[in-house]
Structure 1
Amino acid sequence: MAKPQGFIDHVHPDYVCLLRKSLYGLKQAPRAWNEKFTSFLPSLGFTFSHSDPSLFIRHTTGGMIALLLYVDDIVITGSDSTGIHEVISELSMVFDMKDLGTLTYFLGLEVAKVQHGIFMSQTKYAKDLLAKTGMDTIKSCSSPCLPHYQMTKDQGTPLKDPTVYKSIVGALRYLTFTRPDIAYAVNTVCQFMTNPTDVHYAAVKRILRYLQGTLHKGLFYSSTGAVNNTVNVKAFCDADWAREVIQKRFTTGFVVYIGLCPVSWQSKKQGTVSRSLTKSEYRSLANTAAEISWIRHLLCELKIKIPRAPLLKCDNLSALALASNPVFHSKIKHLDNDFHFVRERVQHNDLCLEYVPTIEQTADILTKGLPSPIFRTHCVNLRLVTLAELEEGC
């Protein structure tokens, strides 16, 4: 720590201050506090989650307690209400804490309790973003991107100051935590962060116009999906092969459901080139299988049972055949070995594959721009609703 201004030590002018403990506000303070807090949790009976380093779990005779830690912000939940109050009291005796009560707002995420579940949104965050960009009075549009439209890095005129573009796109990435409907559009504009042009900025503005008309949309998580502490897991995966006209890379997308609720999704441009649509779909299957495997491990740590093997739905019959039939191994032997573990999962009955028609493929919304009617249908499948719609339904 540097010496404060105005303090001069003529004997040792090059000396600095040695901290005996971390001071709040310094760079190392959050890490020091986090280390002290996490080292104290085992004394309360919590164990570290191997699936998520920020999750701590405690199983009691009254149920389960889960503690989620982000720097110095804490969320505690579980089925043992008495144990939760005891944990809060014990933590308050050691740390200077403030109990804010029932969770309503956390790191930009708004949480509302409704009948039969909870509703999560980022309405305030989206409003602040629109106000910051001066787009809070613009006319809305029906979708975040044009159907089947492909941008390239050389289109348009480079922006004089790309800082604004990067700032907005970074904010939009955080908004995808509760808005999977904009994940593909945000993934697309993220690819031009190095040298954005006015064409790319126009695509960003279209996303903001879509948000203007869907500010109050969020995810509804139903509490009726679990029966006797068991849940079913299913997923949709898709790949859009060679739509990227320059590098011929494919975009893969998946969405994983626990019960009726989407809990994990991704829209990502892959770093490798596939020689056919079948192989790109096969890679998408492998990526989704890895995500399902992680979710299964997390559920096992929470002692939530999965009565049957997770169901993975794909709209490509050839990719399903490659994943379940060893006869076709010679056709994909050039692929990396880590993509073949999906076949091992199928053979061990840890994963079931099923064909789904393209029109019912929910992951389509994560791999390409879609016409408005199909786009709205998939938004419904993703459980994207408003709080007003939920209250009317109740």
Structure 2
Amino acid sequence: MADEFFALQKQGTWELVPPPISGSVLGSKWTYRTKYNSDGSVARFKARLVAQGNQQEFGLDYQETFSPVAKLPTIRILFTIALFHSWNVHQLDVSNAFLHGDINETVYMRQPKGFEDSAQPTHVCRLRKAIYGLRQAPRQWYTTFTTYLLQIGFQHSQSDPSLLILHRDKLQIYLLVYVDDILLTGNDNNKMKELIEHMKHKFTMKDLGLAHQFLGIKIASTPDKYFLSQTNYANSILQIAELHKCNSVANPSFSKPPDQHSEDAPCFDELLYRKIIGSLQYLTLTRPDIAYAVNALSQHMHKPEVVHTVMLKKLLRYIKGTLEFGLPISRSSLQLRTYSDADWASDPVTRKSTSGFCTFLGDTLVSWTVKKQNTVSRSYTESEYRALASATADTIWIKRLIKDFSIDHKQPVDVFCDNTSTIALANNPVFHARTKHIEIDQRFVREHILNNTIRLLPISTVDQLADILTKPLATARFKLLRNKLTIGPRSSA
């Protein structure tokens, strides 16, 4: 607490003034957290002073609050391209990041408990800098940091505003910011070291060396491979569910709904169900093999029934047996390919279909999506076409993103679809009554085919990798597709 208070004083975070006659004074509160290393050992005990921003009023105490953070596919693509060029990826951590942001509004806060000024105990803190807990703090920090980078020659990526790029002659440096965690890579180690020292003088920043843990994801590296995993996080979910000693199963989903009786007791109460599902959504960052099961269970968070708790228990038992699984990033070509699929009318209540698509950069899986479609499709072809349009949009975004990394993907991106009617519809310039309700999707896909942005190719249903993202599968087929997605333990990666 004393260290935190000293840091606040050093930054000139506030000045003590008499309480305002009119105007609200926010409360302040100490929070405590134990931070762990990737191996589970205690790194440090952290205290943080936060303002009680839940008392702020929009338009009076703050205006805009939105702050961009790096998209997860961008992180995977950065590692893939760095590995391709044999570049080092450095990791930086900004201490008390939000305290670097200046605030424009007049905000008062009570003095922190235990550290009140004995000479002026009734005075309040008039904030000069953003502090944790304020609604506008993340935005102010992002603005302050990126403004500094723009001044020294960086530019925002057009595809992801959290990626900043420095191109000067033959120099290439890429900086990715996720709140106070930063990844830095490029083709000149000496220039990167100079940049790190420069940033250290401007901000309170720690150089953590080569990337080894980012956003709770463990990054194991060898000269020609990275392996991203969340073993400790998966273990913590099992501890919350009290299933850390359970027997494992080989499949995360039921291929047919389990039998249930009205008198059966739920495996988890509603609050615990929501807590576990929220945690599992974060686990899917490195585990696309559970993406469909998590998506299906997430649709019942408002009122989970007994059958849903049974399905969740099976998913957790699957995770128990696959704790060491993760996502490998390997050195290969930088050719994009996408797989798109849909399961028609799969929701028995709403009859909406499920879209699933995934994109590879070389041999590395960099992006995947599972989503229930917004509208009911009247045919299998229509559901496949809606999925194809979404997959095309995501592929175009990735193609633009890798162009920011100076990777010019000149040839069309291969997009694989297993529905011949959908492929015919995409290449057929005729519109008629049966397709006019999806005309916008049709025109969108067709335009990019004609512009050679994508190339739509048929693929057999047996080889359709996105099948694992749209429906529950038999165990043998599930394992086959999981292997093709490259998901497995580090030893086999």
TM-score normalized with structure 2 length:
0.72
Structure 2 equivalent of residue 292 of structure 1: 395
Matches within 5 A, 1:12-161: 17-23=125-131, 26-149=134-257, 161=269
Structure 1 equivalent of residue 317 of structure 2: 209
- Per the alignment, in what secondary structure is the counterpart of residue 340 of structure 1? helix
* Cα displacement (A) at 1:299: 1.1
Is residue 223 of structure 1 aligned with residue 331 of structure 2? Answer: yes
Structure 2 equivalent of residue 237 of structure 1: 340
- Per the alignment, in what secondary structure is the counterpart of residue 388 of structure 1? helix
**Counterparts in 2 of 1:160 and 1:23: CA distance versus 1, 3 Å:** closer
Q: Give 1 or 2: higher strand fraction.
A: 2
Deviations 1:217-246 (A, max 9, x none): 111111222xxxxx2111101000012112
* Cα displacement (A) at 1:50: 1.8
Is residue 3 of structure 1 aligned with residue 110 of structure 2? Answer: yes
Q: How far apart, in 2, do the equivalents of 1:81 and 1:215 lie? A: 35
Structure 2 equivalent of residue 175 of structure 1: 283
In the alignment, is the contact (CA less than 8 A) between 1:156 and 1:199 conserved in 2? no
Q: How far apart, in 2, do the equivalents of 1:336 and 1:158 lie? A: 45
One-letter amino acid of the structure 2 residue matched with residue 32 of structure 1: Q
* Cα displacement (A) at 1:283: 0.8
Q: How far apart, in 1, do the equivalents of 2:355 and 2:146 lie? A: 36
Deviations 1:152-204 (A, max 9, x none): 9x997779941111100000001111100000000000000111122111111
* Cα displacement (A) at 1:330: 4.8
* Cα displacement (A) at 1:205: 1.1
Is residue 388 of structure 1 aligned with residue 473 of structure 2? Answer: no
Matches within 5 A, 1:272-283: 272-283=375-386
Structure 2 equivalent of residue 10 of structure 1: none
Q: How far apart, in 1, do the equivalents of 2:407 and 2:259 lie? A: 44
* Cα displacement (A) at 1:338: 4.4
Q: How far apart, in 1, do the equivalents of 2:256 and 2:368 lie? A: 20
**Counterparts in 2 of 1:155 and 1:380: CA distance versus 1, 3 Å:** farther
**Counterparts in 2 of 1:156 and 1:257: CA distance versus 1, 3 Å:** farther
* Cα displacement (A) at 1:115: 4.2
- Per the alignment, in what secondary structure is the counterpart of residue 158 of structure 2? coil
* Cα displacement (A) at 1:302: 1.3
Q: How far apart, in 2, do the equivalents of 1:381 and 1:80 lie? A: 35
Structure 1 equivalent of residue 419 of structure 2: 316
* Cα displacement (A) at 1:340: 2.5
Is residue 250 of structure 1 aligned with residue 369 of structure 2? Answer: no
Deviations 1:294-325 (A, max 9, x none): 00110111110214110000000000011111
Where does structure 2 lack aligned partners over 5 or more consecutive residues? Answer: 1-107, 117-121
One-letter amino acid of the structure 2 residue matched with residue 145 of structure 1: S
Deviations 1:34-72 (A, max 9, x none): 221111001222111121121111123444221111111
Is residue 355 of structure 1 aligned with residue 458 of structure 2? Answer: yes
One-letter amino acid of the structure 2 residue matched with residue 282 of structure 1: Y
- Greater displacement, 299-308 / 282-291: 299-308
Aligned length: 379
Q: How far apart, in 2, do the equivalents of 1:220 and 1:368 lie? A: 24
Q: How far apart, in 2, do the equivalents of 1:292 and 1:90 lie? A: 36
**Counterparts in 2 of 1:112 and 1:383: CA distance versus 1, 3 Å:** same
Q: How far apart, in 2, do the equivalents of 1:311 and 1:211 lie? A: 32
Q: How far apart, in 2, do the equivalents of 1:18 and 1:380 lie? A: 57
Specify which structure has the bigger relative contact order, considering alpha-carbon pairs within 8 angstroms and separated by 6 or more residues: 1
Q: How far apart, in 2, do the equivalents of 1:191 and 1:378 lie? A: 24
Structure 1 equivalent of residue 446 of structure 2: 343
Q: How far apart, in 2, do the equivalents of 1:277 and 1:58 lie? A: 46
Q: How far apart, in 2, do the equivalents of 1:220 and 1:242 lie? A: 33
Structure 1 equivalent of residue 409 of structure 2: 306
- Per the alignment, in what secondary structure is the counterpart of residue 99 of structure 1? strand
Where does structure 1 lack aligned partners over 5 or more consecutive residues? Answer: 8-12, 226-230
Q: How far apart, in 2, do the equivalents of 1:253 and 1:134 lie? A: 31
TM-score normalized with structure 1 length:
0.90
One-letter amino acid of the structure 2 residue matched with residue 132 of structure 1: I
* Cα displacement (A) at 1:331: 3.3
In the alignment, is the contact (CA less than 8 A) between 1:149 and 1:369 conserved in 2? no
- Per the alignment, in what secondary structure is the counterpart of residue 221 of structure 1? strand
Aligned residue among 374, 377, 382 for 2:480: 377
* Cα displacement (A) at 1:81: 2.0
Structure 1 equivalent of residue 468 of structure 2: 365
Q: How far apart, in 2, do the equivalents of 1:121 and 1:252 lie? A: 25
